[in-house]
């Protein structure tokens, strides 16, 4: 059977899966909401992938997981390599745009800037504290305005006079939006004002002290928002590129990293794992004063892995 290379990016909002053949051709990609259960979300994506693998008579030659849920899913599926999001997004960006120098990646709960020189990561920063400028905040504002996130993107670029919105944090931004709404500002101007505020917040906080050089790539779920793209171009004074596969760049980079592993046989537990009854339970390890909370992954009554400890025991 032909070998393919699987990358899985499990974040707070979405599960992204990419499957490449040996020539780096993308055979399968999937972007889907986690829905509060990363294991079920991954199983649903694997069910789709299993059908394709049977059709093309392929097997997984190597698997790489990334994202905030990389350890959990890595243990569950038998990952050959587990990488952080910085490595995965940078690898994907350099593959598609070898001359890239700045990567702006905005996810559901965090955002990050990655500085590239000669195809290598030389600096990065992440925002893990405040949700301002992330996908979850845009989602919440779209719900408050009773529109979809897609409609929020479309309306933003209709703005002629963007409203000035506070950008320091989610609480200030939301209260300012409500105030401007009550004052009579047009909805599209408020939305575009929010996009400008989020771009300023990112540049002033996440990327503070860093030189953001062109070419600049915008990746992650928020990269689909046309207002955010325009706001970053306005703030940076240069063209911002939204690359191919921009919604699944973490998984795409993970698949490339899987391809670069030097292994004869993958530890991958099989695409048919979607049909297994899998659940987790937590136990406390009392072997030392840390009292770590360990997550056990149970597949059809058998413990197949554990994760969560501070030492190497589990």
Q: Are residues 72 and 156 in the same domain?
A: no
The candidate with the shortest Cα–Cα distance to 254, out of 41, 54, 43, 73, is 73
**Shared-domain flag, residues 218 and 102:** yes
Confirm whether 156 is domain-assigned.
yes
List helix spans (H) across the chain. 38-56, 70-77, 85-96, 135-144, 149-156, 170-183, 187-201, 226-236, 249-259
- Domain match, 11 and 134 both: no
pLDDT of residue 205: 84
Query: Is 124 in the same domain as 213?
Result: yes
Number of domains within the chain: 2
The answer to whether residue 206 sits within a structural domain is yes
Same domain, 262 and 192: no
| 8 and 67 housed in the same domain | yes
- Domain match, 237 and 112 both: yes
Looking at the domain assignment, is residue 236 inside a domain? Answer: yes
Q: How far apart are CA 173 and CA 238, in angstroms?
A: 26
- CATH classification of the domain holding 265: 3.30.420.40
Question: Which domain-ending residue is among 242, 268, 302?
Answer: 242
- Asked if residue 80 belongs to a domain, the reply is yes
In a domain, 175, yes or no: yes
From the CB of residue 307, how many other CB atoms can be counted at a distance below 10 Å? 16
257 in the same domain as 237: no
In a domain, 231, yes or no: yes
Does any domain span residue 214?
Answer: yes
Q: Quick check: 20 and 251 in contact, CB under 8 A?
A: no
Which domain range does residue 266 map to? 2-86+252-276
- What pLDDT shows up at residue 1? 85
User: Do 231 and 103 share a structural domain?
Assistant: yes
Judgement on whether residues 140 and 186 belong to the same structural domain of the protein: yes
Strand partners, 4: 60
Whether 198 and 139 share a structural domain: yes
| 150 and 269 fall within a common domain | no
Say if pTM beats, i.e. exceeds, 0.85: yes
Which two tokens mark 99? 């001359």
Identify whether 211 is part of a domain.
yes
Cis-peptide, bond into residue 215, ω within 30° of zero: yes
**Mean pLDDT in each 10-residue stretch from start to end of the chain (314 residues)?**
95 92 96 87 94 94 95 94 96 98 86 94 82 68 82 88 76 76 87 88 88 95 89 95 94 98 92 91 89 91 87 77
Best CA proximity match to 46, nearest among 275, 249, 296: 275
- Boundary (domain end) residue, out of 217, 242, 267: 242
């Amino acid at each position: 059977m032909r070998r393919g290379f699987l990358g899985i990016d499990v974040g707070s909002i979405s599960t992204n899966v990419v499957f490449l053949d040996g020539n780096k051709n993308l055979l399968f990609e999937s972007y889907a909401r986690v829905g509060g259960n990363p294991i079920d979300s991954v199983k649903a994506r694997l069910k789709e992938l299993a059908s394709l693998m049977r059709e093309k008579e392929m097997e997984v030659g190597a698997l790489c997981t990334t994202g905030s849920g990389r350890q959990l899913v890595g243990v569950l599926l038998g990952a050959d390599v587990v990488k952080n999001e910085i490595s995965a997004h940078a690898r994907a960006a350099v593959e598609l745009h070898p001359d890239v120098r700045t990567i702006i990646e905005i996810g559901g709960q965090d955002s990050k800037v990655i500085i590239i020189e000669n195809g290598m990561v030389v600096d990065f920063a992440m925002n893990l504290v405040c949700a301002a400028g992330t996908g979850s905040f845009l989602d919440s504002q779209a719900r408050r305005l009773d529109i979809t996130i897609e409609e929020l993107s479309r309306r933003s670029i209709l703005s002629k006079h963007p409203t000035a919105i506070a950008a320091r944090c989610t609480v200030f931004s939301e209260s300012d939006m409500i105030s401007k709404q009550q004052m009579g500002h047009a909805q599209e101007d408020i939305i575009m004002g929010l996009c400008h505020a989020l771009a300023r917040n990112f540049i002033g906080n996440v990327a503070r002290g860093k030189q953001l050089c062109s070419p600049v790539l915008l990746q992650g779920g928020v990269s689909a928002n046309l207002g955010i793209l325009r706001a970053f171009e306005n703030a940076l004074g240069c063209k911002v590129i939204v690359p191919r596969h921009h919604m699944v760049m973490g998984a795409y980079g993970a698949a490339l990293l899987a391809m670069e592993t030097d292994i004869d046989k993958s530890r991958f537990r099989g695409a048919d794992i979607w049909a297994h009854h899998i659940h987790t339970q937590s136990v406390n390890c009392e072997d030392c004063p840390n009292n770590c909370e360990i997550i056990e992954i149970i597949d059809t009554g058998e413990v197949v892995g554990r994760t969560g400890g501070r030492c190497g025991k589990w």
